[in-house]
Amino acid sequence: MSIESSQVGSTVTLSIGQRLDFNCHQEFRAAYEGRSEVSEYVVDLTRTEYIDSSALGMLLLLRERCGPGVQARVVGASPPVKRILTIANLHKLLSIA
């Protein structure tokens, strides 16, 4: 599996493997759907070396899923991945650290 998910309290963490691309779409969605009492989603890109445009769409879908009071943030992005996220203006919708 290229995506591992865990929930501690009300925080769901999605740890992404080396690639976040179209091939991961179903797995990414399954990792966050069906969770209850979530106040925060954390997408950990520490191991991620490559993202494509579908990855940007997946992050937007995750953000749309967040209701009032639910946060979504990206952590551990390498400089090249962070640059892609910034160029796509995702920093305006998600916290990127």
CATH number for position 9: 3.30.750.24
Query: Residue 13 — very low, low, confident or very high, per pLDDT cuts 50/70/90?
Result: very high
Per the prediction, the chain carries an average pLDDT of 93
Of residues 21 and 35, the one with the higher pLDDT is 21
Q: Is the pLDDT of residue 35 over 90?
A: no
Question: Structural domain tally of the chain?
Answer: 1
Which domain does 71 fall in, by range? 3-96
Q: Is the pLDDT of residue 1 over 80?
A: no
pTM: 0.93
Question: Degrees (nearest 5) of the Cα angle 67, 23, 19?
Answer: 85
Q: DSSP string covering 30-77, please?
A: HHHTT--S-SEEEEE-TT--EE-HHHHHHHHHHHHH--TT-EEEEE--
CA dihedral 37, 76, 74, 23 (to 10 degrees): -90
Calpha distance 83→78 (Å, rounded)? 8
